[in-house]
Amino acid sequence: MASMRDIKRRKNSIQSTQQITKAMKLVATAKLQKAKVQAVKTRPYFHKMHGTITSILAQSGQVNHKYLDDREGKHNTYIVVTSNRGLAGGYNNNVCKMVVNHREEGEDASVIAVGRKGRDLLKRRGFNIIESYNEMVDMPEYGDAAKIGTEVLKRYVSGEIDHVYIAYTAFESTLNQEAKLIKLLPLDLDDFAEEKPDEEHLESGINYEPSVEEVLDSIIPQYVNSIIFGALKESIASEHGARMTAMDSATSNASDMIDKLTLQYNRARQASITQELSEIVGGAEALK
């Protein structure tokens, strides 16, 4: 059995760890509240955007457009949204796992990393990191999303990459976040066909100014940016949610361990007292 001193030292160390995890949980909770509100605020923009594109595509049927054709190539790029800091449970790992599992044999995969953890993890897995943005993770702004979007579109249009995916963590609730991987480019017509467009649009022919192509030219980049922006916002909320949950369970695990160690410590103390007593009694007996 470990000595009393060892047990005591261990207990103290766990106690100070517990203080840290408790503090981190509080901080994450506070940040989560803010991030949650912001994530929710981006949704109306995204939904309206999605609705409009759906109705345009439903209307115009099979338009040939550079953002819509599916190319054969194997150059895939993943935009991976993770955090800069760890201690958030499985948050970063889940996102990276999605990407690793999605990679196929013979695919030429490259990564645009948003967040330091994802960059490091995927680099170790042998992905080619073409770009990494780390500063924007904590307070994403629309301009940041637009920067990534422009970069991706430029590479896509130039033919350097054939498919673009984005991996992020969707914020479902404080306790539940889900890693997701969605296809960004080319736009998948089937994704839009599932939803029924507004009837109002279908019966009345819509006009486009200047023209369908030019409207799509301008709307699709905005759509891409809005997905990236939404993903950034959802991810930061998820990060805080994941960290809060992780730190909460760390704190309660620490409590359990402290309880167990306290019990052990008391037993060891009792044992040593008993031993001392029996030694004294034994010594006294021997003197008789």
Partner 1 sequence: MATNKIELHIVTPDREFFTAEVDALSFKTTEGFIGVLYDHIPLITTLTSGKAVFKNDKDTFEAVLHNGFAEIGEEKVTILTDAAEWADEIDMDRALSARQRAEKKLEEMTHHDEKHKEEVVIQAQASLLRALARIEIAQARQDK
Pick between residue 8 and residue 147 the one whose CB is nearest to partner 1: 147
Residues in Cβ contact with 200 at an 8 Å cutoff, skipping those fewer than 6 apart: none
Q: Is 76 in the site for partner 1 (CB under 8 A)?
A: no
β-bridge pairing 177-185 and 163-171 = antiparallel
Q: Is 58 in the site for partner 1 (CB under 8 A)?
A: no
The stretch among 50-58, 67-75, 124-132, 242-250 that binds partner 1 (CB under 8 A) is 50-58
Angle, alpha carbons 125-129-131 (nearest 5°): 155
Q: Is 56 in the site for partner 1 (CB under 8 A)?
A: yes
Q: Is 196 in the site for partner 1 (CB under 8 A)?
A: no
Q: Is 84 in the site for partner 1 (CB under 8 A)?
A: no
Residues in Cβ contact with 131 at an 8 Å cutoff, skipping those fewer than 6 apart: 112, 113, 151
Q: Is 171 in the site for partner 1 (CB under 8 A)?
A: no
Pick between residue 56 and residue 268 the one whose CB is nearest to partner 1: 56
- Out of 205, 283, 285, 287, name the contact with partner 1 by CB under 8 A: 205
- Out of 18, 83, 169, 226, name the contact with partner 1 by CB under 8 A: 226
- Angle, helices 4-60 vs 212-287, to 10°: value is 170
Q: Which of 280, 274, 278, 271 is nearest to 7 (CA)?
A: 271
Phi, psi at 250, each rounded to 5°: -60, -40
**177-185, strands of its sheet edge to edge:** 128-133, 108-114, 75-81, 163-171, 177-185
CB 232 within 8 A of CB 144: yes
Site string for partner 1, 21-40 (x = CB under 8 A): -----------------x--
The stretch among 11-19, 49-57, 161-169, 262-270 that binds partner 1 (CB under 8 A) is 49-57
Q: Is 65 in the site for partner 1 (CB under 8 A)?
A: no
The footprint of partner 1 (CB under 8 A) covers: 38, 41-42, 44-45, 48-49, 52, 55-56, 142, 145-146, 200-201, 204-210, 214-215, 218-219, 222, 226, 229
